């Protein structure tokens, strides 16, 4: 039987997430801001939870309905086959979001959806009281332009929490975003990968996991593992598949360096927990003193934004010095994520490509430098604003992928 799933992601990562879904062999249906809808058999619940690197959560889409009023939301919700998953004793808390819709009160929508599900299950099971002591089927609604999607959460804890980073530094980068930064940088086995401001090591760890083909969810559990509809055999097969695909002979090498010894201690612990301590070399060094050593290399880094770690003045000085020093690194490719809109002016070099992404709720720009420094276009001293992705029209949000 074929089911419909929804994978959510940070804004800007929809294309990357879609490619991951394609690679697993599932059929994309629709892409909108922050989510990709696709079809697959029930085993996709296990495989996608284990393998999707840039997804925040995975849901089962139970159905959709037009919801321009509370009555319409109630009736549309009650028509769905909730009894196919939720048993007599199971818990079913309700959360959700509403955007550009007549129904904008989230607490009221939660109450309506909960009441509708109770009415449906009461009629099916012939009982009036639900103990809600069994498995948890968290219901999520998403209302956009008066159309409601009703879903069941299959992940539980958000997917960016891989399990290798119980402690992070003061300004942690979300693992899912780090994975996308790595993929966009196109790491290769014969090119040194280096994050010279590594903090807790997230970027280097995600690079090592990708190159060793380690499933990001292989060291954690998921709420759907408690669902009787998705058998233990399905999960066992998915985990065995993930273990068999690990590339244990990879020649890929990543450096994770930082000026802060406390951050490095955390980084080393995280590398061990992630199972990549043999791939990632962590050591203390000032980012403005790194050298190529005659090797080809790629730098991917997330320097301070001037919000939590450094003052704005200190951050701007850092960016100027980065531009001067990184220009000495021969033909190395440089990838830098920052929220500072004047980064190119400070760095004194125009990026070959700029991509708008979000670090949590912070809008950022991923500056990508491919060309050799002597071939790159210098920053011209004229009024300039970053080149973010063009906003999608309402029609484009629902286009087929």
- What is the C-alpha R_g of the chain? 23
Q: Return the pLDDT at 258.
A: 96
Q: How far is the C-alpha of 378 from the C-alpha of 370, rounded, in Å? A: 13
Domains within the chain, CATH numbers bracketed: 3-157 (3.30.2130.30), 175-213+247-369 (3.40.50.150)
Place of tokens 């009629």: 123
Q: 296 pLDDT exceeds 80?
A: yes
Phi, psi of 367 (to 5 degrees): -85, 125
Nearest residue to 167 via CA among 258, 263, 260? 263
* Count of residues in the chain: 401
How far, in Å, are 19, 48, 81, 234, 305 from residue 42 at the CA level? 20, 10, 16, 9, 42
> What would the 3-class secondary structure string for the chain be?
CCEEEEEECCCCCHHHHHHHHHHCCCEEEEEECCEEEEEECCCHHHHHHHHCCCCCEEEEEEEEEECCCHHHHHHHHHCCCHHHCCCCCCECCEEEEEECCCCCCHHHHHHHHHHHHHHHHHHHHCCCCCCCCCCECCEEEEEECCEEEEEEECCCCCCCCCCCCCCCCCCCCCHHHHHHHHHHCCCCCCCEEEECCCCCCHHHHHHHHHHCCCCCCCCCCCHHHHCCCCCHHHHHHHHHHHHHCCCCCCCCCEEEEECCHHHHHHHHHHHHHHCCCCCEEEEECCHHHCCCCCCCEEEEECCCCCCCCCCHHHHHHHHHHHHHHHCCCCCCEEEEEECCCCHHHHHCCCCCEEEEEEECCEEEEEEEECCCCCCCCCCCCCCCCCCCCCCCCHHHHCCCC
395 pLDDT higher than 90? no
Q: 154-187 pLDDT, tens per residue? A: 999 999 999 999 876 666 799 999 999 999 999 9
Whether the CB-CB separation of 90 and 193 falls below 8 Å is answered with no
pLDDT tens profile 43-101:
999 999 999 999 999 999 999 999 999 999 999 999 999 999 999 999 999 999 999 99
Looking at residue 391, what is its pLDDT? 46
Chain segment 226-281, per-residue pLDDT in tens: 999 999 999 999 999 999 999 999 999 999 999 999 999 999 999 999 999 999 99
pLDDT of residue 360: 80
Lowest mean pLDDT among 48-57, 103-112, 207-216, 390-399: 390-399
């Amino acid at each position: 039987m074929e089911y419909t799933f929804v994978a959510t992601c940070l804004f800007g990562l929809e294309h990357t997430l879609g490619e991951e879904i394609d690679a697993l062999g599932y059929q994309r249906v629709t892409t909108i801001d922050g989510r990709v809808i696709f079809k697959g058999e029930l085993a996709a619940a296990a495989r996608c939870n284990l393998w999707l690197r840039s997804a925040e959560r995975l849901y089962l889409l139970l159905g959709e309905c037009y919801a321009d009023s509370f009555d319409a939301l109630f009736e549309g919700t009650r028509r769905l086959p909730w009894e196919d998953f939720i048993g007599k004793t199971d818990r079913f808390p309700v959360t959700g979001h509403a955007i550009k819709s007549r129904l904008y009160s989230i607490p009221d929508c939660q109450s309506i959806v909960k009441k509708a599900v109770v009415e449906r299950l009461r009629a099916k099971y012939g009982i009036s009281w639900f103990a809600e002591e069994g498995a948890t089927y968290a219901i999520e609604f998403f209302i956009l332009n008066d159309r409601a999607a009703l879903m069941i959460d299959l992940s539980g804890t958000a997917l960016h929490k891989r399990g290798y980073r119980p402690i992070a530094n003061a300004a942690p980068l979300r693992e899912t975003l780090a994975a996308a930064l790595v993929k966009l940088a196109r790491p290769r086995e014969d090119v040194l990968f280096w994050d010279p401001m590594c903090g807790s090591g997230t970027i280097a760890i995600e690079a090592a996991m990708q190159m060793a083909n380690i499933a990001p969810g292989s060291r954690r559990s998921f709420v759907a593992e408690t669902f009787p509809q998705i058998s233990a055999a399905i999960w066992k097969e998915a985990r065995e598949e993930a273990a068999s695909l690990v590339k244990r002979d990879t020649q890929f090498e990543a450096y994770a360096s930082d000026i802060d010894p406390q951050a490095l201690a955390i980084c080393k612990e995280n590398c061990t927990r992630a199972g990549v301590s043999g791939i990632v070399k962590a050591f203390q060094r000032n980012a403005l003193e790194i050298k190529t050593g005659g090797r080809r290399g790629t730098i991917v880094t997330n320097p301070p934004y001037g919000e939590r770690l450094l003052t704005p003045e200190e951050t701007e000085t850092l960016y100027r010095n980065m531009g001067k020093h990184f220009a000495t690194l021969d033909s190395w490719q440089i990838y830098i994520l920052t929220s500072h809109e004047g980064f190119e002016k400070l760095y004194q070099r125009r990026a070959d490509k700029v991509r708008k992404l979000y670090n949590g709720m912070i809008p950022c720009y991923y500056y990508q430098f491919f060309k050799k420094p002597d071939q790159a276009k210098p920053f011209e001293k004229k009024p300039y604003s970053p080149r973010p992705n063009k906003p999608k029209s309402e029609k484009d949000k629902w286009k087929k992928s």
